[in-house]
Every structure is written in C-alpha cells, then in structure tokens.
C-alpha cells in the first residue's frame, strides 16, 4: 500500500452556504402544508376532484420534504494533487474497467477513444492496468483495441511531452488548432493527427465490412464460429508492460466473459463482477476505476485527484468510494431533452455529499477493492493475519463459500481484504487459464457474488443498488468535481433514446424500492443514516411519482369535462396559496438555473421534460415492474445508444418519436386536454350545481398543453417528427373511453 508522510492536507472539505435557497425551501414547504390543511378543511364541500387533488398534493409534499432534506447541507471537496508527492512516497496500483455491450449501439471508435485517454493519464504506467469487458463478444472491438494500443504508444508520450490536457484523440483533433506554434510541435501534431485518422479509418472499415467470424484465424481464432450470447470466455492480453516501466503503456486486457442461454448473465453487474475477479487474479490493485465506454478522460490528473481523497483522510471510512459527476460533451444547446443534469449536480448532488455521500453513478467512480469484496469500516472483513491456525482454516472455508472455489482467487481476495496490493509482479499470459475459470458463467453459483460481495444483482440500476449496499455497511462516499471536469460522455440526442434511458432508470430504481434491500430496511437493520435513507427514497420513488403526475395532469381536463373544480374560485382568499406556491417554485427553480450559468430556455426545457419523463418513461417503468411482480414478463436491461457525432443534420433539439408505446400516455393526456377545450367552449359540459369549473381549471389545462407542446407538434409532424398513426389511434381510444366513463359516472350521480 501507499506510505504516508507528514505534509499538508491532500483535500479540503468546504461547506456551501445558500441562505436564499433555504428560505425558498422553507417557504414552499410551508405553502404546501397550508394547501393540504386547506384541502382537508373544505373536503366535505367538494367532490372527487378535490379528493384526488389532495392525494396528489400529499405526494408532492412528501417529495418536496425528501428534496429539501437532500439539499440542506451542501458540501464540496477541493483536492490538491500537486501535494501527493509530498504526502505519498509510493502511489498505489489502480485497475481500470471499461465496459461495452454492443458494437452497434456503442461504436468501437468510442470505446477506443476512452481506452486511449485512460492509457495516457498522468500516473505511473506500471501502477495501472486497463481491462475492457466486451459483452458483445465482437472481433471488431478486439481488433480496434489491438490497433489502438499501437497508436497509444505514440499518443501517450506526445501528450505527456507537450502537456496535452484533452487526451481522447477524437476530441483533441476536432477542437481548434493548438496555440503552440513551434515547428517541432507542429510536425509532431500533424504526424499524430495523420496516425489517428489512419486508426479511425481502419476501425470504421472493420465496422462496415463486419469481420466474418467463420474465417478468423491466428490471434482472432477464438472468435470463430461463436454466437454473441453463446460462447466461451475469451481473455486476451493486448499489451503487457513486462518490464514494469513507468513511462510505458499500462497493461491492456480484453475480456469477453462466457455466456450460455441457460445461464443468467446479470447484464452490466455480471460483467463488472467478472472484471473484478479477473483483475483480482492478474493485478489485484487495491483501487478500481470503472467507466462506461463513452466516458473519456477530460482531466489527465484524474487518478491523482481520486488518490487525494482515498489516501488523504485520517479514517478510510470517509471514502468508501470516490464518485465523479457525469458530464457530457457537445451537449445540445439549452438541454432540450433535460438529460445533462447540471443543476442536479450542483444542488442535489452536493447536498447528498453533506450527508453520507453521493450515490454510486455506475461510471466515473473509484472503488476500494476490499469494499467491493464486502469489507466494513473498522472491521476490515476477514484478516487472516490476526487469526489462529484453526480459525484460519474456518476462514479459508468461508472465503471459498463467498468468493468461489478458485483457491488462487481466494488468496488474492484475502490480500485485498487486508488492504494489501499485489506486491510480486505477475506474468499476465501465465494467469489466463486460471482467469478463464473465474470468468465462466457457472462460477458464481452457490457463492456470495451479486448478493454479499461484488456488484449487486436484482436491479436494472445495479449502480444505485451497489452503492446502497456500501453505504448500508457504514461507509461514506465522496464527490470530486475537479477543474477541468474529470470525464465527459455523450448524452442521448433524440427523444426515443432519452425516454428509453429514463424508463430503464425508473424500472431499476423501483425494483430496489420494493425489494428487501431497500433503504428503509437498511436504516433499521444496518448502518445507513436516516437522512441518507431519505436521499435514496428521493431517487427510488421516481417511478411511483408518475402516478400522481399523470393524475394531476389529467385533473384539469376531468374538471372541465365534468364541470367540477379542484381549485378555489379567483375571488376566494385560498387562491393566494396556489398563486404563491406556483410563483415561488418558478422563481426558485429559475434562480437555480441562472446561478448555474444556464439560460431561461434551458430551465423551461428541463421543466417540460420533467413532466414528459414522469408521465411517459417513468410510468412505463412502473408497468415493467408490475408485470415482473405478476411474473408475466421480466425486466430487460436496455443499452443506451451512443453517438459520437454532434451533427444531427440541422435538427438538433427537435423532438422525435417512434412507434414505441412509451409515447401513448403523453399523447393521451394531450388529447384529453384538447377534448376538454372542445367540450368546455362548445357548451357540452355536464351540468353543475355549485362546484363548476372556472378560469383556474382552464389555465391549468392550457399549462399542461404547453408542457406537452412537442406532442402538439407531433400530431401534425411528418416522419420521425410526427407521432405514429398507431399511437394516435391508441391514445384516441383511451381518451374517448375516459370521457365516456367520467361522463357516464357523473350523469349517474345527478
């Protein structure tokens, strides 16, 4: 392990003060409670619409309580990587994991740029090992890595010599011409650019020609006659730093784990556990970084920033893992799909840091290996060095039961649990046979993988579940936000892909909430702090929030159709509560966006997408989990399509649709509002005695239509910009059925 000496702190923990924000938080909470009290006091004077509004607003109040709790104590960390040399005599090894699952949805050129940027970071190369998991078992991906390793031998020295900050070549060469005008640099720059263009050309040609698996030979023979979901383990050492030289490239290992149709493979969590075991067998670094294939390194000192937090605290309990915020490059102007999360990171993210630490985000995270192996703070798992020989035998049996029947791997796991690095250099090719055994699809049966140790199974959001397990053991986590930003990835650039991603998140989060591993049980039976539990509940209820969101969106149309009300009349004093609440929230949320440096348009786009995601994607997440509970169908991990290109043919930000049923709820809500307008202004409303709808219901219905304006344009759009006729027909049928049911019910009560 690293050896520490006396020197200044490696990081500072800074408490952030937002007094105006706290005032708004309290004001809105008081107004919400006042609204609920008003509803309860006058519930006997009103009908079903009033009761439904009360239930929805109760849910919104609960959500706001969770939000305020999560944001109340914002904290940020400032790291000083330049002090590492004073504090740490020997830097610890780090294993790096990059995961890719589909060479079509995740083009190899993206994976290659991420890997190249990692191989060129400012950290001793003999302390790094990069493992790439290819769940697509693609010979094209392997070929791309082989070619990339050749380019990286030139690229890494070039970056370090000239202190290049952006070390993903596609990003560097697509930016403006560098300011260094020396002839030596220009010559090397042009040479590197030509080399990268040749690399990109080779990879793109391989993708287009699609390497034939039936004629592969030599180094590619392992890929012959295999199926993507039915193949043995393939492990290839692409590059080995045999001499352990700090200025060479780090190790680069390709892994495609065994897959068989009759064995569950647990999607990304299963791939991460295989990477953990194989790396434990080969290099066994005490720290691990995991990245998605599209998240390239944007700050070359990123490993040093993480080490400041992992090695600089007096108690390692304070940093079970270090999470870096997920930011994106070439984001669409004004964030039309609401998926860049700038404001979320600044306020909610930093707020959760002030409790027990940020959630594990699935990418851009440094883990302690022993924490992933199930170690608890102050009780560092099973320490054989302190046990008697008899107990050591029992401990060995227990380790075999938890970690599997590979004695070689169990020895490495015992080292990791004691916080020891692999001190003796290994010849990687000699370990491949043993690594094959622990990467097999049957290795985990009867072990603790996915339950007690490793990345957790049972949810499409394995990252949140794994982080929850770590926090429940008593560990804290840290959020590191260096300048420049640590990693940059690509956000979905079209509507259907963004919606699909949101649906997967809502599905996985709800799976956690209804499981026995939810944060409430973890707080009662383990070491999860109460407010951290509330923070987890804030994100886990995303899917359930779709129900009150849909009901509240439909409520104005319902009231207009049935000529009932859920709002006080304009002349009643209670209307001031609604107006004050609406204006307070608008001003507060707008203030957050402006303080973050975003535009009013970006604020509106995010507000609009929040409504659309909740009523469409999140609602389908609830349906997916409901069908899983009924055992009608299982949830499916849907890989998000990655796109390196920022050229969308001049239609950036325009909302697109497809035939997916995910757009049916939003279209139905819109058609209901339009139907209500026709009935209201056409004099077709039902008769009312003394609780008729008024201006408030009409304005709310107009606001719903404005929020769903992309759907309005979709009704008249063509091609991918238009809502498919099949979706419109389904929504029309649902809308007419709704109108018929509510009118029939209301007429029966008259």
Among 409, 617, 594, CA closest to 495: 617
Q: 197 φ, ψ to 5°?
A: -60, -35
Compute CA distances 73 → 19, 28, 321, 357, 375, whole Å. Answer: 11, 18, 20, 11, 28
**CB 298 within 8 Å of CB 159:** no
Report the DSSP beta bridge partners of residue 290.
Answer: 97, 365
Q: Which residues contact 691 (CB under 8 A, 6 or more apart)?
A: 45, 46, 47, 564, 565
- H/E stretch holding 114: helix 108-119
**CB 592 within 8 Å of CB 347:** yes
**CB 638 within 8 Å of CB 504:** yes
643 is in an annotated binding site: no
- Three-class SS string for 427-450? CHHHHHHHHHHHCCCCCCCCCCEC
SS3 category, 376: strand
Sign for the CA dihedral angle at 726, 610, 503, 628 comes to: negative
483 is in an annotated binding site: no
Report the DSSP beta bridge partners of residue 252.
Answer: 130, 239
Give the integer Cα–Cα distance in Å for 614 and 543: 7
Tokens read off for 563: 């000529």
CB contact burial 489-512 (16+ within 10 A = b; e otherwise): bbbbbbbbbbbbbbbbbbbbbbbb
The sheet that has 94-100: what strands, in order across it?
Answer: 234-239, 251-256, 128-134, 94-100, 287-292, 365-368, 321-323, 477-479
Among 178, 116, 126, CA closest to 148: 116
Give the integer Cα–Cα distance in Å for 117 and 359: 25
**CB 397 within 8 Å of CB 384:** no
User: Considering 126, 135, 335, 643, which one is annotated as catalytic?
Assistant: 135
Among 285, 440, 441, CA closest to 367: 285
SS3 category, 53: helix
Tokens read off for 750: 């008259």
**CB 328 within 8 Å of CB 295:** no
135 is catalytic: yes
Among 598, 363, 599, CA closest to 488: 363
Residue 198's CB is within 10 A of a number of other CB atoms, namely 12
Report the DSSP beta bridge partners of residue 170.
Answer: none
**CB 238 within 8 Å of CB 145:** yes
122 is in an annotated binding site: no
Give the integer Cα–Cα distance in Å for 620 and 622: 5
Residue 147's CB is within 10 A of a number of other CB atoms, namely 19
511 is in an annotated binding site: no
Residue 76's CB is within 10 A of a number of other CB atoms, namely 17
Is the preceding peptide bond at 484 cis, omega within 30 degrees of 0?
Answer: yes
Q: DSSP of 257-305, one letter per residue?
A: --B-TTS---HHHHHHHHHHHHHHHHT--SEEEEEETT-EES-TTHHHH
The number of residues in the chain equals 750
Give the integer Cα–Cα distance in Å for 622 and 507: 6
User: Considering 25, 95, 463, 643, which one is annotated as catalytic?
Assistant: 463
**CB 340 within 8 Å of CB 331:** yes
Q: Which residues contact 720 (CB under 8 A, 6 or more apart)?
A: 656, 657, 658
> Binding-site residues for UDP-alpha-D-glucose, please?
106, 135
> Binding-site residues for Mn(2+), please?
268, 292
Hey, which residues are catalytic here? 135, 463
> Binding-site residues, please?
106, 135, 268, 292
């Amino acid at each position: 392990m690293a050896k520490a000496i006396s020197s200044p702190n490696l990081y500072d923990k800074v408490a952030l003060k937002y007094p105006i924000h706290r005032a708004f938080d309290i004001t809105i909470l008081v107004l919400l409670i006042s609204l609920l009290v008003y509803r309860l006091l006058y519930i006997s004077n009103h009908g079903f619409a009033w009761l439904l509004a009360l239930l929805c607003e109760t849910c919104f109040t609960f959500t706001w309580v969770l939000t305020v709790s999560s944001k109340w104590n914002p904290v940020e960390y400032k790291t000083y990587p330049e002090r590492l040399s004073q504090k740490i005599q020997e830097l610890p090894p780090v294993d790096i994991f990059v995961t890719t699952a589909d060479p079509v949805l995740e083009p190899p050129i993206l994976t290659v740029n991420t890997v190249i940027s990692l191989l060129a970071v400012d950290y001793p190369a003999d302390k790094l090992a990069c493992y790439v998991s290819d769940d697509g078992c693609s010979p094209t991906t392997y070929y791309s890595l082989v070619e990339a390793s050749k380019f990286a031998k030139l690229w890494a020295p070039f970056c370090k010599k000239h202190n290049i900050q952006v070390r993903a070549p596609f990003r560097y060469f697509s930016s403006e011409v560098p300011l260094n005008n020396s002839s030596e640099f220009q010559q090397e720059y042009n040479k590197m650019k030509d080399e990268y263009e040749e690399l990109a050309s080779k990879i793109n040609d391989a993708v287009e020609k699609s390497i034939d698996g039936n004629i592969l030979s030599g180094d590619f023979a392992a890929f012959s006659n295999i199926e993507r979901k039915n193949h043995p383990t393939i492990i290839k050492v692409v590059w080995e730093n045999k001499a352990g030289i700090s200025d060479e490239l780090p190790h680069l290992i390709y892994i495609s784990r065994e897959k068989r149709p009759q064995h569950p493979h647990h999607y990304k969590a299963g791939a991460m556990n295989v990477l953990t075991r194989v790396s434990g067998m080969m290099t066994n670094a005490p720290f691990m970084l995991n990245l998605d294939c599209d998240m390239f390194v944007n700050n070359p000192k990123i490993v040093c920033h993480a080490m400041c937090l992992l090695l600089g605290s007096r108690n390692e309990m304070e940093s079970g893992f270090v999470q870096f915020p997920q930011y994106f490059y070439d984001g669409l102007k004004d964030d039309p799909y609401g998926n860049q999360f700038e404001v979320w990171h600044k306020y909610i993210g930093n707020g959760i840091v002030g409790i027990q630490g940020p959630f594990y985000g699935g990418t851009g995270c440094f883990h302690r290996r022993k924490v992933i192996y199930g170690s608890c703070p102050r009780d560092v798992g099973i320490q054989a060095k302190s046990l008697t020989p008899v107990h050591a035998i029992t401990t060995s049996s227990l380790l075999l039961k938890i970690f599997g029947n590979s004695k070689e791997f169990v020895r490495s796991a015992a080292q990791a649990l004691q916080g020891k690095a692999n001190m003796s250099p290994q010849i990687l090719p000699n370990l491949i046979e043993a690594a094959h055994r622990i990467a097999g699809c049957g290795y985990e049966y009867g072990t603790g993988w996915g339950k007690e140790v490793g990345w957790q199974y049972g949810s499409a959001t394995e990252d949140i579940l794994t982080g929850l397990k770590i926090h429940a053991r008593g560990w804290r986590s840290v959020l590191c936000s260096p300048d420049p930003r640590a990693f940059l990835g690509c956000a979905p650039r079209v509507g259907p892909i963004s919606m699909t991603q949101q649906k997967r998140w809502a599905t996985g989060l709800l799976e956690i909430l209804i499981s026995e591993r939810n944060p409430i049980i973890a707080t009662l039976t383990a070491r999860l702090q109460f407010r951290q539990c509330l923070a987890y509940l804030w994100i886990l209820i995303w899917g359930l929030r779709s129900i009150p969101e849909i009901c509240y969106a439909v409520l104005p149309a319902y009231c207009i159709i049935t000529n009932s009300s859920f709002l006080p009349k304009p002349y009643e004093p209670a209307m001031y509560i609604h107006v004050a609440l609406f204006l307070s929230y608008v001003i507060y949320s707008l203030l957050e966006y402006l303080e973050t440096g975003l535009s009013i348009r970006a604020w509106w786009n995010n507000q609009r997408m929040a409504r659309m995601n909740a009523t469409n994607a999140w609602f389908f997440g609830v349906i997916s989990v409901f069908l899983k509970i009924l055992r009608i169908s299982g949830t499916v991990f849907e890989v998000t399509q990655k796109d390196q290109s920022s050229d969308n043919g001049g239609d950036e930000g325009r909302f697109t649709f497809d035939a997916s049923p995910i757009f049916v709820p939003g279209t139905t809500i819109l058609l209901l509002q339009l139907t209500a307008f026709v009935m209201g202004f056409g004099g077709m409303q039902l008769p009312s005695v003394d609780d008729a709808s008024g201006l408030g219901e009409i304005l709310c219905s107009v606001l719903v239509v404005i929020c769903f304006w992309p759907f309005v344009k979709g009704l008249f759009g063509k091609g991918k910009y238009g809502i498919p006729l099949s979706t419109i027909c389904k929504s029309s049928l649902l809308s007419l059925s709704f109108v018929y049911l509510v009118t029939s019910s209301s007429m029966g009560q008259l």
